[in-house]
Amino acid sequence: MEAAEGLSLHRRLFSQGPAGKGIPCLYKDASRGANWISKPMSQSQAISSELFRLTQDLVNIPSITGEEEACSQFLANYLADRQWKVEAIPVSQGRFNVFATHGHPEIVLSTHLDTVPPFIPAREDAEFIYGRGSCDAKGIAAAEVMAAQSLLDEGVSDLGLLFLVGEETLSDGARAANETPRGSKYIINGEPTCNKLALGTKGVLRVDLRVRGKMAHSAYPQLGESAVEKLLDILADVRKLPLPGDEILGPCTLNIGVISGGCAANVIPGEAQAQLLFRTVPRQSGAPDLKSQVEELLRGRCEFEFIRDTPALRLEKLDGFETDVVAYSTDLPSLTNWGQPFLLGPGSIHVAHTDGERVRKWDLQQAVALYGCLVRLLKTRN
């Protein structure tokens, strides 16, 4: 495949759009480098059917973070049955990542198997697959498996699949995998990017606060010390912090996600807590360090702990791929030993984590082709 043709190939393949009107485009243009998806229509329909079935099978296995074992085992068995060499990478008691290879894995496709709560079983209609994880990120896992299998069928070798636990909280699965890299040159991570190649991701800085006060009868507030009022003063000052921006990733943002405290309306509260999460951007030269600023503001006023500090990432642009910037973080900052990172996947982050989570079937099909295009392009660099 000529590099320029491979880069813009997906635009030709999907020029007609979903709803059945453009599906034949998936299987034409073999003479221009798309032979890996130029399959007889009956075979391509079988691939799509398996893609949708695998997505729903994965969704129907509850895998809220910390409870991923059954889903990991299912996918490990699925890949082993298809002649992949499968390894379990231990993470914690009863939890493991799934790593599958054919040959020496120069390029690895990866995503996560854990979900946020609550579990929502799969259902489908003509256009969408619904359920917890359908978009984030079990549909992505299914698309990566189908893409890798199709590439193998076309003679492309030296591929890996890495399916991680723990992404939705502390990326402990990614950190465990990073301790035992396998020599890959590239890692293609899957998250909902609307099938656009991400140019960057924001980082995460999470800090948890605990404020102590003194309980008293609310009729005699002078005898107590309100932990809630102290916490409100601290949060007001945190909100006044000047937050940095980035020309690509946009502004750093703050979310005061959880506030709790007190025990009754007629009791001066003796304790209060809050959880804060900053979506961070790269630090500019000469600019103050945000974590240090937060620490200085909190010191001596409350107990605090930095729970997560994940850096922002800037990623390579490839001509011909539609691009976007995402405001969320991923496992990629914790996978630094797995090669140059790329980020792409079907689905919209706007419906992830919602009670209406869903992924369009057409987008899953498109993702299979896009992952194949990206792998073949990266193979030309080796």
The residues that are catalytic are: 167
* Contact by Cβ (8 Å): 187, 297: no
Residue labelled with tokens 């984030």? 136
Q: What is the SS3 assignment for 70?
A: helix
CA angle at 69 for the pair 68 and 73, rounded to the nearest 5° = 120
Cα–Cα distance, 374 to 322 (Å, whole number): 12
55: left (phi over 0), alpha (psi -120 to 50) or beta: alpha
In angstroms and rounded to an integer, the radius of gyration of the C-alpha atoms of the chain is: 23
Interstrand relation of 186-189 and 340-343 (parallel, antiparallel or unpaired): parallel
- The pair of three-digit structure tokens given for residue 193, joined into one six-digit string: 């990017």
Distance CA 252, CA 290 (A): 10
Q: Give bridge partners of residue 164 from the DSSP assignment.
A: 112
Tokens of 96: 């493991």
Pairwise CA distance, residues 282 & 354, whole Å: 29
| Total residue count of the chain as it appears in this document | 382
Q: Which residues make Cβ contacts (< 8 Å) with residue 288, sequence separation at least 6?
A: none
**What does the alpha-carbon distance between residue 175 and residue 164 come to, in Å, rounded to a whole number?**
10
Q: Is 155 left (phi over 0), alpha (psi -120 to 50) or beta?
A: left
Count of C-beta atoms within a 10 Å radius of residue 167: 25
Phi-psi region of 133 (alpha: psi -120 to 50; beta: other; left: phi over 0): left
